[in-house]
Amino acid sequence: MLSAERDVMVRAFPEIDSGGYASAVTESGRSVTDAARVYRDLTGVLPEAANIDGDAHFDRHVLASILALASSEGGSLAARAGLTDTELGDLFSHWFLARSVESSGDHEASVVDADEIGIVRDLLLENRSSEGDYGRWLAAMIARRAMEPNHLWEDLGLRDRSELTRLIARHFAPLARRNDKNMRWKRFIYRMMCENDGFVMCSTPVCSNCADYALCYGAETGTSRVTSAAQSSATPAEQTV
């Protein structure tokens, strides 16, 4: 493997760390993380109370989750969310009464590779199954959040892996159909990049012979990064979707 390729893989798949809550504050006797507070400012409810029964409710929940987590990481919200300032403004105009949210937190700026983000984004765009700006924004946001070190559903601020599976089935259906062995989503996206763009992730052509099998097909367990502190202290449910 070339050194540049190895660097890409190290950034994309460092040790999974499912911690990383934003700082907690106390509101009305209840601890609420910065990210959960932003989520509530956007939607009117804390993330654990989100109604995602319908597609529109679900789509709004996804955007609020990404923005809430990105805002808790400090720095430019647009950059953390993977959008331009204009795209972020349009997104707020279409989806939220709040026209902006304040970034908080003092995390160090991530070192991200714009070329790599572009390749992930293009792969997602090629596999869109919904019309309009939403899928385009989502492709850019997922691509940027895929540069973060945790499971992809965690770094999108979602509540569990099943929400990521649902959003990919809804907006990137061809990818959902191809992931018929239920690979971890970030690994699956990079597997697609191996096939399309010459990235090197796989040491063997056949998964059953590969030493990384558990990394690609293990359960994506973890705890939501956008949730109230009270909720986060509970034992996380086993994620098997």
- H or E stretch including 220? none
| Cα 14 off chain centre by | 16
Sequential DSSP letters for 99-148: --------PPPP---HHHHHHHHHHHHHT--S-SHHHHHHHHHHHHHTTS
CB nearer ligand SF4, residue 44 or residue 174: 174
Binding piece for ligand SF4, criterion CB under 6 A, among 23-31, 41-49, 199-207, 233-241: 199-207
| Bridge partner residues of 47 (DSSP) | none
Distance CA 103, CA 75 (A): 7
Q: Which of 16, 52, 207, 219 binds ligand SF4 (CB under 6 A)?
A: 207
**Is 126 an interacting residue with respect to ligand SF4 (CB under 6 A)?**
no
Q: Is 212 in the site for ligand SF4 (CB under 6 A)?
A: yes
- Measured from the CB atom, is 186 or 187 closer to ligand SF4? 187
State the Cα–Cα distance between residues 135 and 115, nearest whole angstrom.
Answer: 20
Is 204 a binding residue for ligand SF4 by CB under 6 A? The answer is yes
Check binding of 152 to ligand SF4 (CB under 6 A). Answer: no
Q: Does residue number 175 form part of the binding site for ligand SF4 (CB under 6 A)?
A: no
240 binds ligand SF4 (CB under 6 A): no
Q: Which residues bind ligand SF4 (CB under 6 A)?
A: 187, 191, 201-202, 204, 207, 210, 212-213, 216
